Amino acid sequence: MVSVHTSPLEQPGTGDAGGLNVYVVELSRRLAARGVAVEVATRRTSSSQPELVELEPGVHVRHVDAGPYDGLAKEDLPGQLCAFSAGLMRVAARVPAGHHDVVHTHYWLSGQVGWLFAERWGVPLVHTMHTMAKVKNASLADGDTPEPFGRVIGEQQVVEAADRLVANTQEEADDLVRHYGADPRRTGVVEPGVDLDVFRPGSRARARARLGLPPDADVLLFVGRLQPLKAPDVLVAAAAHLRHRRAGTGRPLVVAVLGGPSGTGLARPTALLEQARALGVDDVLRTSPPVPRPALADWYRAADLVTVPSYSESFGLVALEAQACGTPVVAAAVGGLRRAVVDGTTGVLVDGHDPVIWADALEALLADETRRARLGAAAARHAAGFGWDVTAERVLAEYRRAVADFRRYPTPAPAAAVTGLPAEGGRLEASG
C-alpha cells in the first residue's frame, strides 16, 4: 500500500490524519489476519522514525525520505513525489521479482507514486480516492479555498491508470464515473468498517464520570479535524441558538469538540474559540485534542448526540463509530453520510448548514429522551453490520478481480522488479 501524505501510525483527528489513516490501519490488520503480508509506504516526517516499523505481525510501515521532515503541508507534496519514488526505489530494489501481487494506493498523491511502481513490478494498481477535488469543490464552505486544478489533473491520471478503483459507497463510485470518466466495469464498492471490539454500547453515566462531564447535562459532540470542510462552526452557531431558546430551563449544555486544526483551518487555529466567545457560548464549549480509541469510545457513549455537519464526506467513519456505541447521530445529508446514517432510524440527516435548522433538529432530539433511546438502539444494530472483517473480505475479492483481469490482459514484464516487504509476502490467488 502507499499512503504518501499521512502515516497509519499517526493519531487521527489532527493535521492530515483522519478516516484514511483508520482505513489503512484496520484494513491492513485484517488482511494480515488472512495471510496477506502488507507493507505501507509513507513519507518520513521525523528523523527519529525508523525506516521500518512493525505495526503488528504481517503489517509493516516503511518510512521514505522525501523533502524536509517538518514544515511541508499536504499542498506542498506534489513537488516531492519524484523524491518519494526515488527513495522507495532505493530501499526496495533488492527484493526479487514477483514478490508483490497488488499495489493499493490511497488518495491521489499516492496514486501518482503507485502508478509508477505497479508498472515497474508488472502488477495491478488498485486505487481508493477517499476524497475527490471535483466533489469537494462543488460543496465548499463559505470562504474555504478550492482544491487546485493540478489535483484535478492528477486524479484524472490516476483514474485512467488504475486497473481497479475501490469506492467507499455507490455514490462515490457514481462520482468517479460522472466526474472522471471511470469505467464502471473496473469500479467496485466496498464500504469501510468499524472496530466493533472498541466501539460498542456502554454506560453513559460511567463514561461521563471518567471524562468529568456533568451527569445531568445535554452533551453534543463533534469529532474530527478543525477545518471549514468539517464545519464545527455550524455546531457552535447552532449551540448559540439552543442556549438562547433554553434560557431559564436550568438544564446544562456541553458542546464537546475533539480534534486539532487541519488544512485551511491552520490559518486560524483559534477560530472556533473566537466564534464561541463572540456568540456567548465559550463557557459551554469544551475542546480536547484527539484521543486514543478507548477514550474516544467513552466520549461517544457520554454524548447525547454526535454531530457530523461536514460539507463533504466520502463515508463518515465518525458517524459509524458513534452509532456502534449506541449514540444517535445528527449529520449533514451529504456524500457517504447518507449511507452511514439511516435518516429517522439511527439518527437525523439535515439538509444544508443553516445553524437555525441544525438547532431545530438538535432541540427536538434533546427534548425527546424516548426517541433518542430508540434511535440509539437502532444505531448500534445498524453499525454492527459494518465490521472491518467484512470490509477486508470484500477488498480481498477486489484484489483477486484485479489480479485475474491483469493476467487475462497481461502487460509486458518489467526489465527489473522492485519491492520492499521485509518478510515473505502472502499470495493472492486469482479467481475467475
Establish whether 17 is an annotated binding residue: yes
DSSP-derived secondary structure letter, 306? E
Establish whether 345 is an annotated binding residue: no
- End-to-end CA, the chain: 24
Establish whether 56 is an annotated binding residue: no
Report how far residue 118's alpha carbon sits from residue 68's, in angstroms, rounded to the nearest whole number: 26
Task: Return the C-alpha cell found at 31.
Answer: 488482511
Report how far residue 366's alpha carbon sits from residue 322's, in angstroms, rounded to the nearest whole number: 17
Establish whether 12 is an annotated binding residue: yes
Establish whether 11 is an annotated binding residue: yes
Judge whether 5 and 45 are in contact, CB under 8 Å: no
Report how far residue 88's alpha carbon sits from residue 90's, in angstroms, rounded to the nearest whole number: 5
Establish whether 136 is an annotated binding residue: no
Establish whether 353 is an annotated binding residue: no
Task: Return the C-alpha cell found at 138.
Answer: 462543488
Burial 76-97 (b: 16+ CB within 10 A, else e): ebbebbeebbebbeebbeebee
Name residue 305's beta-bridge partners. Answer: 220
Establish whether 74 is an annotated binding residue: yes
Q: Give the strand order in the sheet containing 125-128.
A: 103-106, 125-128, 164-167, 187-189
Establish whether 19 is an annotated binding residue: yes
Establish whether 311 is an annotated binding residue: no
Establish whether 109 is an annotated binding residue: no
Establish whether 374 is an annotated binding residue: no
Establish whether 301 is an annotated binding residue: yes
Instruction: Count the neighbouring beta carbons within 10 Å of the beta carbon of residue 30.
Output: 22
Establish whether 18 is an annotated binding residue: yes
Binding site for UDP-N-acetyl-alpha-D-glucosamine: what residues are annotated? Answer: 11-12, 19, 225, 230, 291, 313, 321
Binding site for 1D-myo-inositol 3-phosphate: what residues are annotated? Answer: 5, 16-21, 74, 107, 131, 151
Binding site for Mg(2+): what residues are annotated? Answer: 300-301, 303, 327
Binding site: what residues are annotated? Answer: 5, 11-12, 16-21, 74, 107, 131, 151, 225, 230, 291, 300-301, 303, 313, 321, 327
